[in-house]
Amino acid sequence: MAVYAVVLGNPGSGGIYAPEFLPTALRGMHRWNVPGLATDLLKSVVYVDRRSTRWPLTGLLLWAVLGASGLLTAALFRSRRADSAGATR
């Protein structure tokens, strides 16, 4: 089984280029992509007052919660599938 992955956002994440210099589609992706959020958080802490860290921290926390819930859900379904396969044998 082949698995293909499309990497979106590494060139357009804003880590190298400011979002103002990106095309419109990538500019919107910068606001929701993890590398873009991390870059914004770092810039906010280092160069700007820390009050502007609210959205990057919220976005990264949202990604962490979604990732953890997806991982736990997949583990739950996998264990149920393994239990049902063992019961039918």
Does residue 60 or residue 20 have the better pLDDT? 60
**Could you report the per-residue pLDDT of 54-83, keeping only the tens digit for each?**
988 999 999 999 999 999 999 999 888 777
Would the pLDDT of 89 be above 50?
yes
* pTM, entire model: 0.68
Confidence bin at 23 (pLDDT 50/70/90): confident
Q: What is the pLDDT of residue 49?
A: 77
Give the Cβ contact number of residue 39 at 10 Å. Answer: 19
CA dist 50 to 5, 37, 42, 53, 63, Å? 36, 14, 10, 6, 21
User: Token pair of 30, please?
Assistant: 């910068």
